[in-house]
């Protein structure tokens, strides 16, 4: 079981290494046991990861009880909710790579025998998952839990409610006093954003893919059950190590299809497309953007979860949690039952542990889905030849034709929305916010929520080479590839051009001939780089397009 650590700790020539570790409190017996890295993303800049130090102690307790020696480390995290609408938002997707790189470096350098990653806020779980695959040592992912919903005027609210309220306030539909009152109650404590937004989407996806124990994500961050889950995860990692199960043993094509089905049936975040493609590249599994559309077409939307539905993640836990969703999918024949999970059970065996709360309606019954097809839709057309992504809950219009309102940055668009310069029927086009052009492919929740908050969600569409928060709802199309920043056809769109969206046909077009688009692009020149040094400049130089998961070029055949 000490397949790595014995190299760095055993023998007279390793006395220096042992001496250093004894200086931190370890003794000889500790160093004779398997060394388990406990990586988390605790940080004081957000509530999302605020409980992870405490949760790590329970994980470490389980590791020790099962015969291992834990070594705790933590890495970075960027809060999308805090940085939204600022230049700081450009750092968020970049952080996924830094998280993966930093955990990989520590685990390689210190030769951990196994690793358990504790994540929450949006980029942490995919970043930790990427690190586990690169290391390919026995590993587990543990979600530290969702925030509890806030309550405002008798209704459950989340951070999305605040961003929509900003738009309502700008439109004169909400007073300053009510906005402040909502701000004060929307985030009542520790935990990741409380709908089926990106954090909860990826937590469910990691259970469906098999890297997280089924049901471990469901208890909220502040629930006492989460500590017990942590201890059990610590014990489990020792079992995984003894069985010699590696992440690449679990991450098969069938496992990825199960994860996509979980996202589709729960109305999950469009960011899952980026993250699952990135993880598939790390694992060497063929996966492309069209697979998401194919799987979503055949997967019913069973979960009535925010942002499109009525319920928060906390309510899903009350209904029985992720295992209820998994069992519904098994019973409906929508998943690969025999896919392996980290516990040693198959997907179907793990789903059989579900304890569904009688009368719950968070997860619909077979035969009565919220929608016959899943929430993810992939569009292509003459301004998105390599694809674009939209999330639909079922009540959105499926066709839209309107004039382009073109903005070359997210702040410019947001200012126009808040100034009430956007009219019913418009298509807001935000470009030069892609992986290279942004750089960093920032989210647009500030813009999209303000559009919804002003009452324009049913009449205005948005198209961008940036991306969206998992909290976004409405006819909002992102991940346009190739992006404008590298000369993609979105760069050819002019103010007033007619944009045509046809969901049923899976089309996204501008009403221009191919010759006209080519003529405009021939006269186009790329904007000057926004960063010429530092991490964002390095990212812009190495990152690929959204349809390839916005991964780094190094080490991959693209």
Annotation marks residue 218 as catalytic: no
Residues 357 and 346: their CA atoms lie apart, in Å, by 23
Helix (H, G, I), strand (E, B) or coil at 241: helix
Residues 296 and 13: their CA atoms lie apart, in Å, by 56
Chain Cα centroid distance, residue 56: 22
Q: How far is CA 52 from CA 117, 121, 396, 469, in A?
A: 10, 11, 38, 23
Neighbours of 63 (CB within 10 A): 28
8 A C-beta contact, residue 86 and residue 50: no
DSSP-derived secondary structure letter, 110: H
8 A C-beta contact, residue 440 and residue 536: yes
**Which residues neighbour 26 within 8 Å (Cβ) at sequence distance 6 or greater?**
69
Radius of gyration of the chain (CA): 23
Counted residue by residue, the chain has a size of 558
- Choose among 39, 38, 53: nearest CA to 127: 39
Residues 446 and 432: their CA atoms lie apart, in Å, by 17
Helix (H, G, I), strand (E, B) or coil at 271: helix
8 A C-beta contact, residue 393 and residue 310: no
Residues 184 and 511: their CA atoms lie apart, in Å, by 46
Residues 479 and 431: their CA atoms lie apart, in Å, by 10
Which candidate in 77, 469, 513, 533 is catalytic?
A: 469
Any idea which residues carry the catalytic annotation? 469
């Amino acid at each position: 079981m000490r397949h790595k650590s014995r190299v760095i700790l055993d023998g007279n020539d390793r006395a220096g290494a042992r001496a250093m570790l004894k200086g931190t409190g370890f003794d000889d017996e500790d160093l004779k046991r398997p060394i388990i890295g406990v990586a988390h993303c605790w940080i004081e800049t957000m509530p999302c990861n605020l409980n992870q130090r405490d949760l790590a102690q329970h994980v470490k307790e389980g590791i020790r009880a099962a015969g291992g020696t834990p070594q705790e480390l933590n890495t970075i995290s960027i809060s999308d909710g805090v940085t939204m609408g600022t230049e700081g938002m450009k750092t968020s997707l970049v952080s996924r790579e830094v998280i993966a790189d930093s955990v990989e470096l520590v685990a390689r350098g210190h030769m951990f025998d196994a690793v358990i990653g504790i994540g929450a806020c949006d980029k942490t779980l995919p970043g930790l998952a990427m690190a586990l695959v690169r290391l390919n040592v026995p590993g587990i992912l543990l979600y530290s839990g969702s925030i509890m919903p806030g309550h405002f005027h008798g209704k459950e609210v989340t951070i999305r409610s605040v961003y929509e309220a900003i738009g309502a306030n700008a439109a004169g539909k909400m007073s300053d006093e009510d906005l402040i009152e909502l701000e004060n109650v929307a985030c009542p404590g520790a935990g990741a954003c409380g709908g089926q937004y990106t954090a909860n989407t990826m937590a469910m996806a990691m259970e469906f893919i098999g890297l997280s124990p089924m049901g471990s994500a469901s208890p909220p961050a502040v629930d006492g059950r989460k500590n017990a889950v942590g201890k059990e995860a610590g014990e489990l990692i020792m079992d995984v190590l003894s069985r010699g199960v590696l992440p690449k043993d679990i991450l098969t094509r069938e496992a990825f299809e199960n994860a996509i089905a979980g996202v589709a049936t729960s109305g999950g975040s469009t960011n899952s497309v980026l993250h699952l493609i990135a993880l598939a590249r790390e694992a060497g599994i063929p996966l492309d953007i069209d697979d998401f559309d194919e799987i979503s077409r055949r997967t019913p939307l069973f979960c009535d979860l925010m942002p499109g539905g009525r319920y928060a993640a906390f309510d899903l836990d009350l209904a029985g949690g992720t295992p209820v969703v998994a069992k519904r999918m098994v019973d409906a024949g929508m998943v690969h039952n025999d896919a392996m999970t980290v516990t040693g059970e198959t997907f179907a065996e793990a789903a059989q542990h579900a304890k569904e709360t009688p009368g719950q309606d968070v997860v619909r019954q077979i035969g009565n889905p919220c929608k016959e097809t899943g929430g993810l839709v992939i569009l292509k057309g003459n301004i998105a030849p390599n694809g674009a992504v939209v999330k639909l809950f079922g009540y959105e219009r499926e066709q839209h034709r309107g004039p382009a309102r073109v903005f070359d940055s997210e702040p410019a668009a947001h200012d126009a929305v808040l100034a009430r310069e956007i009219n019913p029927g418009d298509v807001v086009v935000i470009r030069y916010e892609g992986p290279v052009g942004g750089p960093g492919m920032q989210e647009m929740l500030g813009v999209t929520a303000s559009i919804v908050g002003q009452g324009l969600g049913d009449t205005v569409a948005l198209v961008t080479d940036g991306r969206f928060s998992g909290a976004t709802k409405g006819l909002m199309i992102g991940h346009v590839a190739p992006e404008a920043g590298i000369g993609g056809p979105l760069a050819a769109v002019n103010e007033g051009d007619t944009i045509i969206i046809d969901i049923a046909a899976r089309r996204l077009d501008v009403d221009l001939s191919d010759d006209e688009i080519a003529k405009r692009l021939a006269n186009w020149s790329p904007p000057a780089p926004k960063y010429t040094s530092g991490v964002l400049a390095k990212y812009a130089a190495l990152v690929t397009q959204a349809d390839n998961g916005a991964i780094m070029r190094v080490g991959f055949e693209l």
